[in-house]
Chain A
Amino acid sequence: MTQAPHIIARSRVWSIPGGVHPEQHKAESNQSAIEPVPLPSELWLPLSMHIGSPAIPVVKVGDTVCKGDLIARSQSGISASIHAPTSGRVVAIEDHVYAHESGFKQPAICIESDGLDIWRQQKPWHNWREQSVEDIVARIHDGGITGMGGASFPTDVKYRNKHAPIHTLLVNAAECEPYITADDRLIRERAEDILHGAAICRHLLGARTILIGIEDNKPEAISAFEVAAKRLGLDITLAVVPTKYPSGGEKQLIQLTTGLEVPKGGLPSDIGLVCQNVGTLYQIYRTVVFDEPLISRVTTITGQAIERPGNYEALIGTSIETLLNHAGAHLKKADRVIMGGPMMGFALPDITAPLVKATNCLLAPTKKEIPPPIIDNPCIRCGMCEQACPAGLLPQQLHWASKNRLLDEAELHSIDDCIECGACAYVCPSRIPLVQYFRYAKGEIKQERADQLASDRARVRFENRQARLDREKAEKEQRRKARAEAAAKALAEKQAKEGSNEEPKEDPIKAALERAAAKRDAKNTTTETQNPEQLKDIAEKAKAKFEKATQRLLDAEKEGSEMVPALRKAAGKLEEKYHSAEKAYQAAMKEQENVSP
């Protein structure tokens, strides 16, 4: 093979507004090599440890599984599959503690390890370039890969939904959060694998450039990248950005390394970029080339309450408590256990929750290291938050709007563009938990939008129904008019035909009333002298009348005439009459039988 000419270029770096410089605390954990954690006896795999719909279990309790077997399949759309991290038996599928601020439980699959750690059959693609793009993307999807920088967004989606040509794969190696060194160590030890992953992604995207954004506090990782790129003969561009939080935020890193901004409401792909964390690239390499799904990850365990801080490679589903104990945690000394970094992570309500795909750091600080929050002063609008905001927002105004639940005002101040990095709260002299206020306002806005949508829909439905009813009413009215006209016309024609010699007709209503009165009188007089023959006659007549009325009703219904209710009523009355006449006849018959047996 001819040596391809390769360039390791240093790219220009732009600046971002704001940002803060918290104490880094990286040296505690980045001095030792990544250490594998011994196989735990049981693993709990939550069905939803990614953004999107939860996976659906494809195993049942009692099944035996091999390492890497699919145990829960992704749903269509945005979702990720879950695999058995080791071989063993499925012992439970039920709700289990989950690493979330709420402390709510979540459905999970529990696997009891058999201690053998036997892989399922694997189909390595050592020459992945022979595979089609679709097959590789499918393997990434089937491997359950999600973004490993913390957001856990299903990775394959980035390769499936390309609506703009992608020119650059931006590798996020900034790792700007204090304490976390998982990416740093991964780069130092496995830079070639990461770059292999980057080459795969570049191939999938049809991109030109691999641009690596990395903070200047990681000189060893930078040189590891350079050495690896040389060995692989891969063209990479390194953008060494100054150490400043939150330079590793996707939008911020894009601005730092390209000078471009992701348009509001858009995606990096809108400006020809796909951003991928180094941990994810490493996993893509393992999955595509070795057919290993995402079943383990490197996570930093650090903080002053940890005796052996460092980076640990653990199976997804391992209990966090087990991991902390393995690293020598003094949990009594720890004020809280944080999943993620100190700027954007959250305090775990229960440390028995399992390690998930997104867990890049477990931080157990002492009270002295990260003191509990103090009571906040009122905002003095000093504006330090504004100077720190990387998104160009006015946190002091957003705070005012959020605190007073002025949601329109919050939207005017673009609260949706807040990335919740916490830089504002970090610099706030009044120690106001600003991010918490913003989360509240965002939640309220989301709820209001949902309510608005629902009520809009209901209004449209109601209006449509009203319009339909009005239309029907108008149509009925028209039909009625047409019929009345036709009747009048027919009558006029008839009268014209029969000539004027015909004596004027009696009023039909009056005649009917008279007839009815006469009948009533007759009935009243006849009831006393009833014999079965007469009664039978009456009943038969009533039956005939009822049948006739029913027939008319049916005809009217067929026509859709407005007479239907009146006819129905009349038919009902006739039916009653018929039944009572029938009864009277039966009774009379019985009596007769009794009298003359």
Chain B
Amino acid sequence: MISITSPHTVGQNSVSKVMFTLVAALVPGYACLIYIFGWGYLVNALIAVTVAVALEALILVLRKRPVGFFLKDGSIIVTALLLACALPPIVPWWLVAIGSGIAVIFAKHLFGGLGQNPFNPAMVAYALLLVSLPVLMTSRWANVDVLPSFADALTISFGHLDKGLDAFTGATPLDHYKLNIGRLTADNVLQDPIYGAFAAKGWMQINLAFLVGGLVLLALRIITWHIPVSLLASILVMSVLFGSDGDAFVPTSLHLFSGSTMLAAFFIATDPVTAATSNKGKLVYGAGIGLLIYIIRTWGNYPDATAFAVLLMNFSAPLIDHYTRPRVYGHSKAVKGFKNDG
């Protein structure tokens, strides 16, 4: 008889369940993205997932790891889907494929695979693409009012990139506002058709859809409230403190409900592998991301800043962990730092 020790009863949770719940929670966001910005997102998602799964299988073979066992956990699908919904919808297929490749090979497996990566793979890929291919990465957002058909999306992706492209593309609201607020007043900027009654047209719905998905994750206890709440709260506080003047700064509504804010708050920053670990640590970590998002968006060169903010806080997570350990039962105070003084 093999020796089995306690606990004998274990819950029926599994990594696959966690990952596929995440995929399911992404569905409302994806549906909204596709509905508003067209099929490009679906095409990108399919490319990203296919490439990621194939590469993961290949690398598992090279690393002499059980392929089926690790593919089954579904973590790579989540990574690919997160990357694909962060990318602009109208980009050539190879950009998506390269992104997927970076995520799988460099961000995940070179560090040891599932659970070992210090940086969020999707964000590593996104940041590398953004730095390497800035034009493609910033000017290919879809125009809300003219949607390409599924066939158009495929054509754009595989080959004829220029076919009627101008009709479909436009800048993101965050980008647009920041570019124009220098010379126009807030009222004038908001006249642009890309803005809606509240925040930006389409983007608000998308953010709401990701928010719904995020709330589902919260309800299912896949994530805890700490990171999303502290992240959103810190963006809110910063934009109220510094950006109350709409003629100089992007307004709070745009910060919270356009760009990737909700996606970042509920799906990207909450990646447990790369986040700080204790409840207190998560609060610090989320607040740090929110702070960096606001700083980079406002005073930096990038209109949206999730990737860099997340990566920077990934760096800090181990340090945060050392100083945010919870107080243990029976202890008068928490053990902080690197020394145990009893």
Contact = CB atoms under 8 A, between A and B. Distances in A.
B7 A422 contact: yes
A250 to B, nearest CB: 11
Interface stretch (B12-20, B96-104, B128-136, B302-310): B12-20
Nearest to A265: B330
Interface string A491-521: 0000000000000000000000000000000
Interface string A148-190: 0000000000000000000000000000001000000000000
B28 interface: no
Contact of B1 (A266, A347, A392): A347
Contact of A380 (B7, B273, B278, B335): B273
Interface in A238-264: 251, 255, 261-264
A275 B262 CA distance: 49
A439 B3 CA distance: 14
A340 B8 CA distance: 11
Contact of A417 (B5, B115, B331, B340): B331
A393 to B, nearest CB: 6
Interface in B10-65: 10-11, 13-15, 17-18
Contacts of A428: 10-11, 13
Interface stretch (A33-41, A131-139, A408-416): A408-416
B221 A431 contact: no
A515 to B, nearest CB: 76
B328 A345 contact: no
A396 B275 CA distance: 12
Given A20-B11, A22-B11, A345 B340 contact: no
Interface string A363-388: 10100001011010111111110110
B191 interface: no
Decide if the interface of chain B is mainly helix, strand, loop or mixed: loop
B301 interface: no
In the complex, which of the residues B6, B18, B330, B338 has the most CB atoms of chain A within 10 Å of its own CB atom?
B6
B178 interface: no
A425 B15 contact: no
Given A346-B6, A386-B279, A422-B6, A427 B327 contact: no
Interface residues of A, number: 65
B11 A427 contact: yes
Interface string B273-309: 1010111001000000000000000000000000000
Nearest to A409: B338
Contacts of B176: none
B5 A347 contact: yes
In the complex, which of the residues B8, B10, B224, B282 has the most CB atoms of chain A within 10 Å of its own CB atom?
B8
A343 B328 contact: no
B285 to A, nearest CB: 12
Contacts of B113: 378
Contacts, number: 155
A376 B248 CA distance: 53
Interface in A336-351: 336, 338, 340, 342-347, 349
A439 B4 CA distance: 13
Contacts of A265: 330
Decide if the interface of chain A is mainly helix, strand, loop or mixed: loop
B9 A420 contact: no
In the complex, which of the residues B13, B224, B279 has the most CB atoms of chain A within 10 Å of its own CB atom?
B13
B13 A379 contact: no
Nearest to B324: A394
A420 B335 contact: no
Contact of A251 (B277, B279, B327, B329): B329
A345 B7 CA distance: 7
B110 to A, nearest CB: 15
A362 to B, nearest CB: 13
Contact of A394 (B5, B13, B14, B325): B325
B75 interface: yes
B16 to A, nearest CB: 8
Nearest to A431: B10
B330 A426 contact: no
B334 to A, nearest CB: 9
Contacts of A346: 5-6
Contacts of A420: 6
Contact of B17 (A266, A386, A422, A429): A429
In the complex, which of the residues A255, A265, A392, A393 has the most CB atoms of chain B within 10 Å of its own CB atom?
A392
A392 B279 contact: no
B3 A349 contact: yes
B116 interface: yes
A52 interface: no
Given A251-B330, A380-B272, A383-B277, A345 B8 contact: yes
B73 interface: yes
A397 interface: yes
Contact of B5 (A261, A375, A412, A433): A433
B277 A264 contact: no
A426 B10 contact: yes
A433 B116 CA distance: 18
A345 B273 contact: no
B18 A392 contact: no
Given A377-B73, A392-B327, A345 B11 contact: no
B328 A391 contact: yes
Nearest to B75: A380
A435 interface: yes
Contacts of B115: 377-381, 430
Contacts of A255: 329
Contacts of A343: 6-9
Contacts of B224: 383, 387
Nearest to A252: B329
Interface in B187-244: 221-222, 224
Given A380-B15, A381-B273, A383-B272, A266 B330 contact: yes
A390 interface: yes
A384 to B, nearest CB: 7
8 contacts: A336-B8, A365-B8, A391-B328, A394-B326, A426-B10, A427-B13, A430-B14, A430-B15
Interface of B: 1, 3-11, 13-15, 17-18, 69, 73, 75, 113-116, 221-222, 224, 272-273, 275, 277-279, 282, 321, 325-332, 335, 338-340
Given A336-B1, A377-B14, A378-B113, 13 more contacts: A336-B8, A345-B8, A365-B8, A372-B4, A375-B69, A382-B18, A397-B321, A412-B335, A414-B331, A425-B7, A428-B13, A429-B14, A430-B115
